[in-house]
Structure 1
């Protein structure tokens, strides 16, 4: 596959897109990376190739935003996320990728429409342990299966209207932990073959470039523009995932 130009044509933009999201800009759009790479390989292989690259991106993102994160949000979200990863491992292969895409697509679309139309629940601005556990679990579960934890995470944290850099830093730490946890079940399931690790190694130099670009865009964004961009990306992602899930049924 390394001698196939189409591999680079889809994989390089997919990795850069994820890097920009890791850097804090439009995080939910990162879920498009696996579908892009799935144009030239099975989605499960795309997810396996991406995971080591995501871990490297996480290291750069955490370093970039170190000291800027919401401890309360992380404390509430991470236990559920780890539980979601465990559920993903235990149910690996039971749920089709079509169903997962439809599930995340519906939630993303409804939330984006709510944000863009201005119908926001006041209670959502406060931290709630039960809501955090729910969204954290969904984020861990969908992250394990198709690296689509961004929308559920965003749905919980976005109504808190954090400063863009604080939001991005919280996301960086959250997904750094989640992706490290995912390494173990991915290895147990035999996803890290020699070929997949070689593909990861070829693409990993793009990791810091994407993160730096995302950080630069986040620093230059006002809170109003930043959250509107995220909402629009969520809308696009929701439509995209619904269409892909419907076609795959």
Structure 2
């Protein structure tokens, strides 16, 4: 920590603020903060440090939107997410950091393109399929759930993928944020023991997190204020924009 220059602390503070803001207002923006952490810290250490901050943000998100989750959707996603997590472990064992970033960036762009087509060009029935128990919902759950599990295990980057899933389901803002809050709270807590066992979460990273947690809290409080006032259409466009921007960042 003492080796970090002043500009690094400033950027980490901004990233911590974005952690909280993304959890309570604009999911998908976390690809930007992932890039900040990875640029300032060794890749593995950044993953562990960021995971703890994400869990802190999850606590605020769950508390804020605890009554708005769609549990049937979460249960439908569970098997595919577990499979994606295991695939992510295998992928990490075989791929280098550069390949990981580019593969995730390509996945995100493909998911965005598919979601835009599904949401605005394939008609209301196709757009709403993920919110129903039919075949469309089943295949969407498998596809998005697997990719969400893979990307969150590899780089804490599952937010944009799952944002596209919830966006395609036409969730209202609070149901979107509530379902996402419970989803990532459970997934991130499940990842924590593995991260500790792999040495990704250390006493040093916990001290760093302790310094940055106030930024997470500030971002979460501002995000909650923004989410209660943003129109549905603006929210949906914002999710798409930050997801595309984050995917492009990972590809560069």
TM-score scaled by length of structure 2: 0.88
CA distance in 2, matches of 1:215, 1:95: 37
Alignment map for 1:68-217 (pairs within 5 Å) = 68-113=68-113, 115=116, 118-120=120-122, 122-127=125-130, 128-217=137-226
TM-align CA RMSD:
2.0
Structure 1 gap segments, 5+ residues each: 244-249
Displacement after TM superposition at 1:63 (Å): 0.5
Please list every run of 5 or more consecutive structure 2 residues that lacks an aligned counterpart in the other structure: 131-136
Give the direction of change, closer, same or farther, for the CA distance of 1:133–1:214 in structure 2 (3 Å limit): same
Query: Could you tell me which residue of structure 2 aligns to residue 24 of structure 1?
Result: 25
Deviations 1:205-235 (A, max 9, x none): 2222111111211111111111011111122
The separation in 2 between residues aligned to 1:68 and 1:209, in whole angstroms, is 22
Helix, strand or coil for the counterpart of 1:68? coil
**Cα offsets for 1:66-90 (capped at 9, x unmatched):** 1101122111123322332233234
Determine the C-alpha separation between the residues in 2 that align with 1:174 and 1:31.
17
User: C-alpha deviations, 1:149-190, integer Å up to 9, x for none?
Assistant: 012212222111111011011100000001001001111111
Q: What's 2:52 paired with?
A: 52
Confirm or deny: 8 A CA contact 1:34 1:43 kept in the other structure. Answer: no
SS in 1 for 2:199: coil
Counterpart for residue 15 of structure 1: 16
Following the alignment from structure 1 to structure 2, what is the Cα–Cα distance between the partners of residues 88 and 106?
Answer: 16
> Contact 1:19–1:211 (CA<8 Å) still a contact in 2?
yes
Distance 1:93 1:11 in 2: 28
Q: Is the deviation greater in 79-88 or in 142-151?
A: 79-88
Residue of structure 2 equivalent to 1:4: 5
Measured after TM superposition, the shift of residue 20 of structure 1 is 0.7
CA contact (8 A) 2:18 2:216 kept: no
Q: Residues 8 and 120 of structure 1: is their aligned pair in 2 closer, same or farther, counting only changes over 3 Å?
A: farther
Contact 2:106–2:251, Cα closer than 8 Å, also in 1: yes
SS at match of 1:38: helix
TM-score (norm 1): 0.89
Task: Tell me the distance in 2 between the aligned counterparts of 1:242 and 1:218.
Answer: 29
1:66 aligns with 2:75: no
